[in-house]
Amino acid sequence: MTERQPTSLGQVSDFDIRLLRVFKAVVECGGFTAAETALGISRSAISMHMGDLEKRLGLRLCQRGRGGFSLTEEGREVFEAGLTLLTSLETFRTEVNGLHHTLRGELNIGITDNLINKPEMRITRALADLRTEGAGVRINIHMEPSDVIAQGVLDARLHVGVVPQVNLLANLDTQPLYDERSLLYCADTHPLHAVSDASLSAGCLAEYDAVIPGYPLPKAARDAHALLNGTATASDREGAAFLILTGCYLGYLPDHLAEPWVAAGRLKPLAIPSCHYLTSFVVITRRDRRFHRVLEAFLNALGRQLAT
């Protein structure tokens, strides 16, 4: 009797996996004949597949004949190893399919300061929808100046940003979010607080100190600030609010940010027709961005909020 030569198994192919599935069914059914129904193929086809597997492995896997079906020692070990392989493949298939239904990963979003007071709250609601859709999503919010946010999106440090539509580079995609109205305010201790609306005019503004933003502004905002006597600067809107509340400075604030102080009697908007402007806010992403499931889910959620 010729001794079977050892054979090294190379790369496991799809054909090998099909043969292992046949072998598994034969073992679990207890023989070739019983496996015909489970596999839906003839006994002769099963026998051919088993012969192919034994040749591929260079091992005798089972005894079949008058004595019935039984596994060899090598057959038992191959069966156990095959179970491990097939189970791993099924686990892989299940987990990959699950990725289509389970949202995981991070969203790094940069937001300009003091937008949470906006009554629309579209960003807040979109983030809530994202969290509902993917409990495994980690959201990282960075509150930064608009130019830092824009650079962060370009550098891919941030996936998405919310900034004023001012001086944005062409390689950024923008999606309109909302317009923000800013009014000119004084504090309750400022001399103009007691002046009637009818007596106010743009011509008197140059007599009073005012706070000027230290960040880029749209043209309408620049024109409105040109009427003021800028003797102080602020790097953000909260800084402007600090100085206006001293009673020493006039200054522009978004109406949603000033509203609590107006309601408390601490601030008063000056009813001068030319002293207001709108700032358009947009969502920015890199134009050449790679596909990112979490980012796309957030943008879709935001799109739904904008459509309502």
The full DSSP string for 206-224 is GGSEEEEESS---HHHHHH
The answer to whether residues 152 and 281 belong to one domain is yes
Q: Give the phi and the psi of residue 153 in degrees, each rounded to 5.
A: -70, -40
pLDDT for 1 equals 40
- The closest alpha carbon to 184, from 272, 54, 81, 298, belongs to 272
For residues 251 and 167, the answer to whether their CB atoms sit within 8 Å is no
Three-class SS of residue 147?
helix
% the chain with pLDDT above 70: 94
Confidence class for position 260, pLDDT limits 50, 70, 90: very high
Question: At 143, which CATH number?
Answer: 3.40.190.290
Torsion sign, CA atoms 278, 279, 283, 287: positive
* 181 and 47 co-located in one domain: no
- Do 173 and 290 fall within a single domain? yes
Integer Cα distance of 36 and 18 in angstroms: 15
Q: Considering 99, 127, 145, which residue would you say is the last residue of a domain?
A: 99
71: domain CATH number is: 1.10.10.10
174 in a structural domain:
yes
Question: What is the arithmetic mean of pLDDT over 133-158?
Answer: 90
Q: Which residue did the predictor score with more confidence, 263 or 16?
A: 263
Do 261 and 138 belong together in one domain?
Answer: yes
Residues 233 and 132 in one domain: yes
Residue 6 lies in a domain: no
User: What is the count of structural domains for the chain?
Assistant: 2
DSSP string, 156-200: TS-SEEEEESSS--TTEEEEEEEEEEEEEEEETTSGGGGS-GGG-
The answer to the question of residue 59 being in a domain is yes
Whole-number pLDDT of residue 134:
83
Whether 187 shows a pLDDT value over 60: the answer reads yes
Domain boundary among 45, 66, 99: 99
Q: Is residue 5 part of a domain?
A: no
Picking from 99, 125, 160, the residue at the C-terminal end of a domain is: 99
Same domain, 55 and 127: no
In a domain, residue 7? The reply is no
> Is the predicted pLDDT of residue 263 greater than 90, yes or no?
yes
Specify whether the CB–CB gap between 235 and 217 falls below 8 A: no
Report residue 182 as tokens: 């800013």
Parallel, antiparallel or unpaired: strands 104-111 and 172-187: unpaired
Residue 1 lies in a domain: no
pLDDT, position 136? 82
What is the structure's pLDDT at 8?
64
Q: Which residue has the higher pLDDT, 73 or 95?
A: 73
Residue 208 lies in a domain: yes
Q: Is residue 3 part of a domain?
A: no
Q: Sorting pLDDT into bands at 50, 70 and 90, what band is 109? A: very high
- Are the beta carbons of 145 and 237 closer than 8 angstroms? no
| Nearest one of 182, 177, 180, 179 to 123, comparing CA atoms | 177
pTM of the model: 0.67
Are 144 and 110 contacting, i.e. CB atoms less than 8 angstroms apart? yes
Range with the poorest average pLDDT among 36-50, 104-118, 205-219: 104-118
**What mean pLDDT is predicted for residues 266-286?**
94
Compute the distance between CA of residue 40 and CA of residue 25 in angstroms, rounded to an integer. Answer: 11
Same domain flag for 162 and 61: no
The amino acid at 180: E
Is residue 19 within a helix (H) or strand (E), and if so which, with residue range?
helix 14-29
Task: Verify that 192 and 227 share a domain, yes or no.
Answer: yes
Structural domain boundaries, residue 28: 14-99
Candidates 165, 175, 169; CA nearest to 154 is 169
User: Does 177 lie in the same domain as 58?
Assistant: no
- Say yes or no: 270 and 307 in one domain: yes
| Domain co-membership, 264 together with 249 | yes
At residue 67, the pLDDT reads: 67
Whether 91 and 118 share a structural domain: no
Residue type (1 letter), 119: P
